[in-house]
Structure 1
Amino acid sequence: MFKLLLIEDDRTLFNEVKERLTGWSYDVYGIQDFSKVIQEFTAVDPDLVIIDIQLPKFDGFHWCRNIRTHSNVPIIFLSSRDHPTDMVMSMQLGADDFIQKPFHFDVLVAKIQAILRRVYNYNTTANKLKTWYDAKIDFEKNTVTNEAGTVELTKNEIFILKLLIDRKNQIVSREELITSLWDDERFISDNTLTVNVNRLRKKLDEIGLGCYIETKVGQGYIAIEEDYPHD
């Protein structure tokens, strides 16, 4: 049974979501003290976190940032705020998805199932290690390492990188990436993919590899190798 941590201070909504997710055989936990979210997160050790933006003490962005310093656990934002910058901020902080309230419960379940299936089935089937431009990519630790150092990636970022490297020097369409990541592209925005790829490229820039993930306008993305002819 997967453990879900729902960081939501609206008790009515929390109880409703907990009851319905429990019906899907998820073990759902809440927060008792919103000044001790990290301590309670550590105690639960969840498989997935669902978090609101507007919370007592500190907002969801604060806690997402703190969780990311401890763990790569998948994170879904669930918020009534509808400004585009909120979605962009959540993705930049390492969230895996963003759902706006009010939401259809089937959409929430579909996103949870897709993320859990991708994250926890993925590592059992993928090769543990892969080499690209003399960098070692560890799919268990979600790291990329070369002589310049090591960068740690989120589940989405490592998955995107694997998809691109598995087909290096070939263009992978945006539609294919969206479908592979979230199983059903109706449940994800095109902008979310852009944010994830840009964040991946920015991290790879730290060790000199960002330039090898190229954008092909109107087509998709490509992971290049030395023998690939640049435009």
Structure 2
Amino acid sequence: VWQPNRGLGGARNAGFQVSKGEYVLFLDADDRLRPKAIEAHLSCFAAHPQVAFVVGDIDNIALDGSYLSSPRWPLLQGNVYEDILKVNHVANTIAVLFRRSVIEDVGGFKPSCSPSEDVELLLHAARLFPSAHHRSTVAEYRRYPNSLSRKGALMLPAILRVMRLQGDVVKGNPRLSEARRQGEAYWRDYFGKETLKELLANAVRCSPRGFTTSLATLLWYVRGRLFVWPWRYRKSLLRAVKRRFCPAK
């Protein structure tokens, strides 16, 4: 499949259009699917035939493929929109097997939400359909310094744009509105910390443009929480900068 560069969402939509299967899984080129991943997903579908998508666990791996960590989230069942509105209970779309009809019904990945179109799709699907989560490790997510998940100044505005879109959905529902508020705080913390690491890294390598972008992102999107983080996360931030610029000999 060839097309002009339309970002991750555009590439996934193009791949989906030429696919023919009843089930769909989106796997990025730098990540890995475990050998029995599809079998584990289909077993979960068999146990929960009413659901529209199933979610497994992932392992984080380094650039060279070595093991890093195994993030684990609570096992959710049924209508989980409120849960993942609060916290990202789905580590990555590589951990999800969808029924084809789900992607058709939600309209695929929305380029306007790039590069957080995967979160928008998961929220949209969870709002419309039930799901089931299982404990099998189905994929390996590669983490490295330049991966999208580490680019806080890029990701933070995008993910908050996705959360703002949920405002029209939850309007008039106090419970879901509170879940959305908690979700915004969660993402401000998550990508705000990554942006703060970028800010420190840009200061160390004397990059005025990068420093200004990171600082502007923090001041505009994080605001008051910015004054809490440097002290709360001082040790992890210093370790991150040290690993990047003072590698062990």
TM-score by length of 2: 0.29
Higher radius of gyration, 1 or 2: 2
Whichever structure has more helix as a proportion of its residues is 2
Greater per-residue strand proportion: 1
